[in-house]
Structure 1
Amino acid sequence: MSTTFPRHWWGKIIGAILGLLKGGISGAFIGGLIGHFVDRLLAGFTGAGDIRRLFFRTLFATLGHVNKADGRVTEAEIQAAEGLMRRMQLSAPERQQAIHYFRAGKAPDFALEAALREFAHHTVMRHDLRQMFMEILLEAAAADGRISEREQAVLVRVCHHLRIPPEQFAAMWNVRYGPAGGGAGYRRARTAAAAGSLQQAYAALGLETSASDAEVKRAYRKLVRQYHPDKLVSQGLPEEMMEMAKKRVREINTAYDLIKQTRGIK
C-alpha cells in the first residue's frame, strides 16, 4: 500500500531525513524545524489561479458562517450576499458555486478553523491579500446594516487565524462603525467619504488624530501600495473583486484629502 504525503509536508520530511543523517535525533529535529520554514516559504508561492479559487471559496463559506453565528441567516443577510455576487458580476455557474460555499459555511459541521488554516497556509507571503479578504468579509457581513456581537466574535477569530493584528482589525472596524462598544448590534456607520468625518478619516488610515504629518503621509503611501488593485490581483485576488479593492483605495484617497485640507499639508 502506497502512502502519499500532503504537499506541504515535504519540506519537513526532507529536512528531518537530512538532519537525521548528519546529526542523529537532534539533527532530525533541527532539520524538521528548518523544513517547516521551507514549507511556509513555498506555500507563499502557490499559483495565483489556485489562490483565486481558494480565496473565492473561503470568502463565501466564511461569510455564511458569520451570518449564521447568531442562530439564523436573515433575509437581509441573504440579500446582502446576493448583492455581493452581483457587484462581482459572477457568471451563472460562479454564482451557483458561491451559493454552494455560502450554504456550506452555514452548516453546523463547517470547520471554520480548518478552512482558515488552509487559506492562511497558502497566503503566507501575501499579507496584503489576507487584509483585503478581511476588508471584503467585514463589508459584506455588515451589508444588511448591522453586525451582532456573536458575528463580531467570529470576525475576531478570523483575524486571529489570518494573523491580522488586533490594531489592524480595530482600524478596519472603526472606519465603518466607530469604536467598538456594547449593545445587541452595531449599526453601520457612514464612511469618511460619505460623512466627511475627520475622525473617520483618521480611522481609515489607521491613525490617531495626534499623528504627525510625516506619519500621515507614510500611512497613506503604505495603504495605497497595499490595496493597489493590480497588485492584489497578481497575488491572487479574484478579478471579480477588483472593484472592491478600487473602492477601498477611493476611501483612502478621500480620507487623506480631508486630513490634508484640515492640516494644510501640501
Structure 2
Amino acid sequence: MSIWGRFGDFISRVTAGAVSGVSDVVEAVRTAFEGDPELRRKVAFSIAMIALSAKMAKADGIVTQDEVRAFHEIFAVPQEQQRNVARLYDLAMTDTAGFEAYAERMARLCGSGAPNCQMLEDILDGLFHIAKADGYLHEREVAFLRRIAEIFVIDEGRFEAILARHAMTGPDDPYVVLGVTRDAPFDEIRARYRKLVAEGHPDRLIARGVPEEFVAIANDRIAAVNAAFEAIERGRVSA
C-alpha cells in the first residue's frame, strides 16, 4: 500500500473518533505507527505539511489559487484520498490551538532536539514553496515561518539560507543561499556546495522520512543551490 493509502486509512479512523484538533492526530501517529518508525516519519511528515500549510494560510488571511496549485505540486494526492487530505486541512484551519503548540509536538515526533534537524528543514522548505506560489512572500508568512524555524531548532543562518533560496524580490545573494561568507576560499565554497547537493538529493530525503511523492522540494532546493554556486563561480572567474 502506498503512503497515501496508509495515510488515508489513518486519517479516516482517527477523525471518525472524538478528536478536538490536529494535536490529537499528532499524538495518535505516535501510537498507531509505534512499530514502524519509517512509516511513522512519512505519515508525520505528510500531516505536518498539510496542517502547517493550513495554519500558514491563516497567517496572511487568504488562500490563493496559486497556493492551492503549489500545494498540489508537492502533494500528488490520488483522487480517492483527496477527501482525507481536505479533512485534515479543514481540521487544522478550524482548530483553535495555536500553531506553535502543534509545531512543538510535530518537532518532537519528527525527532527534533538536534539543531538543524534535516527532516524539519524539509518541512520548512515545503512551506516556503507554498507561501511563495502567489509571487510574493507576505511579511506575516515570513514571521510565521521564522517562528516555525525557531521551534524546529533551525538556527538563524540556516533559516536565512532557506529564505534566500525562496526570496521573490531583489537579487538573491548566492553566498547566503550556500551559507558561506563572501571572503571564503573557493575550495571551501565548493565543498559546502557539494555537501548541500548531497543533503538535498531526493534519495536522502526519502531515507529520512520524506515520502517519494514530495521530491518537488528536493528539485527546487538543488536548482537554487546550483544557481547560487554557478553565480559565485562566474564572479570568481571574472574577478
Q: Is TM > 0.5 for Structure 1 vs Structure 2?
A: yes
| Distance in structure 1 (CA, Å) of the matches to 2:91 and 2:185 | 47
Partner in structure 2 of residue 164 of structure 1? 154
TM-score with structure 2 length normalisation?
0.74
For residues 227 and 138 of structure 2, the distance between their equivalents in structure 1, rounded to whole angstroms, comes to: 28
Deviation string 1:32-51 (CA, Å, 9 cap, x unpaired) is xxxxxxxxxxxxx9712111
Number of equivalenced pairs: 201
Rounded to whole Å, the distance in 2 between the matches of 1:73 and 1:46 is 37
Q: What residue number does 1:184 align with?
A: none
- Higher RCO (Cα < 8 Å, 6 or more apart): 2
1:91 aligns with 2:64: no
Query: RMSD in angstroms over aligned alpha carbons?
Result: 2.5
Aligned partner (choices 56, 72, 76) of residue 66 of structure 1: 56
- Report the CA distance between 1:91 and its aligned residue: 0.5
Q: Is the 8 A contact 2:103 2:151 kept in 1?
A: yes
Alpha-carbon offset, residue 108 of structure 1: 5.0
**Deviation (angstroms), 1:149:** 2.5
Compared CA separation, residues 132 and 86, structure 1 to 2 (3 A) = closer
1:219 aligns with 2:199: no
The residue matched to 2:137 in structure 1 has which SS?
A: strand
Is the 8 Å Cα contact of residues 174 and 232 (structure 2) preserved in structure 1?
A: yes
Unpaired runs of 5+ in structure 2?
Answer: 1-34
Q: Distance in 2 between matches of 1:98 and 1:206?
A: 35
Question: Which residue in the other structure is 2:101 paired with?
Answer: 114
- Unpaired stretches in structure 1, ≥5 consecutive residues: 1-44, 178-187, 191-196
For residues 218 and 86 of structure 1, do their structure 2 counterparts lie closer, same or farther at Cα, with a shift above 3 Å needed? Answer: closer
- The one-letter amino acid of 2:200's match is Y
1:196-223, Cα deviation, whole Å (9 max, x unpaired): x5x5322321233222213312221221
Q: 1:133 aligns with which of 119, 123, 142?
A: 123
1:128-151 deviation per Cα after TM superposition (whole angstroms, max 9, x unaligned) = 111111111112112112233222
Q: Report whether the alignment pairs 1:173 with 2:153.
A: no
Q: Greater CA deviation, 104-113 or 134-143?
A: 104-113
Match of 2:58, as an amino acid? Answer: K
Deviation of 1:86 (Å):
4.0
Q: Percent identity?
A: 23
CA distance in 2, matches of 1:105, 1:220: 37
- Give the Cα–Cα distance (whole angstroms) in 2 for the partners of residues 55 and 88 of structure 1: 12
CA distance in structure 2 between the aligned counterparts of 1:79 and 1:102, rounded to whole angstroms: 17
TM-score (norm 1): 0.67
Aligned residue identity for 2:122: M
For 1:95, what is the secondary structure of its paired residue?
Answer: helix
Of 235-244 and 140-149, more deviation after overlay is shown by: 140-149
- Of the three residues 41, 55, 66, the one matched with 1:51 is 41
Q: Distance in 1 between matches of 2:83 and 2:137?
A: 26
- Which amino acid letter does the alignment assign opposite residue 173 of structure 1? L
Deviation per CA, 1:127-175: give whole Å up to 9, x if none. 1111111111112112112233222222111111110001111121123
SS in 1 for 2:179: coil
Pick aligned residue for 1:101 from 78, 88, 99? 88
Secondary structure of the residue aligned to 2:133 is coil
Q: Which residue of 1 aligns with 2:28?
A: none
